[in-house]
Amino acid sequence: MHFSKTTEYAIRVLSYLHRYSSTSHSVNVLHQELNLPYKYLTKMMTELVKKGLVTASRGREGGLSLAKNADEIHLCDILEAIGEPLESERCILGFEKCDASNPCALHDQWAPPKAMIEAMLTNTTLASLLHDKETKL
């Protein structure tokens, strides 16, 4: 009942890119500032570039920055880019088909928390994360 490490990393990196969006940042900087494994980060960022969430520029003064406005990037977009999509149709007990007409034993009990998680992931944007206070990334 938690995010994958990769998802944690992606959210933190993209939040950082948004918070300090006046310039681009190299993988090395992200590695040091966020204390994430360098090599793993390069792979992940390459993936986020391919998925269109991040733009990369090479050479001196190059680096990474958000490819869209922060209010256009929802948490669910990040999960999807990482390969951990919402799976809103996925059954909590692992059944192939599970809905109100043919529910698993946990279907009804799981519905409210599930709806709340999905609402949070679809409504929360990068921009909305940093409004009130300085938070750690």
Enumerate binding residues for a copy of itself (CB under 8 A): 1-3, 5, 8, 11-12, 15, 84, 87, 90, 92-95, 98, 102-110, 112-113, 116-117, 120, 124, 128-130, 132-133, 135-137
Closest CA to 70 of 137, 124, 7, 9: 124
What DSSP designation does 98 have? -
The entry of DNA, a copy of itself, none near residue 53 (CB within 5 to 8 angstroms by kind) is: none
Q: Specify the residue for token string 């709806």.
A: 115
The entry of DNA, a copy of itself, none near residue 2 (CB within 5 to 8 angstroms by kind) is: a copy of itself
Amino acid found at 47: E
The entry of DNA, a copy of itself, none near residue 58 (CB within 5 to 8 angstroms by kind) is: DNA
- Positions touching DNA (CB under 7 A) are 4-6, 9, 25-28, 37-40, 42-43, 45-46, 49, 56-64, 83
Closest CA to 28 of 20, 38, 13, 43: 38
Amino acid found at 111: A
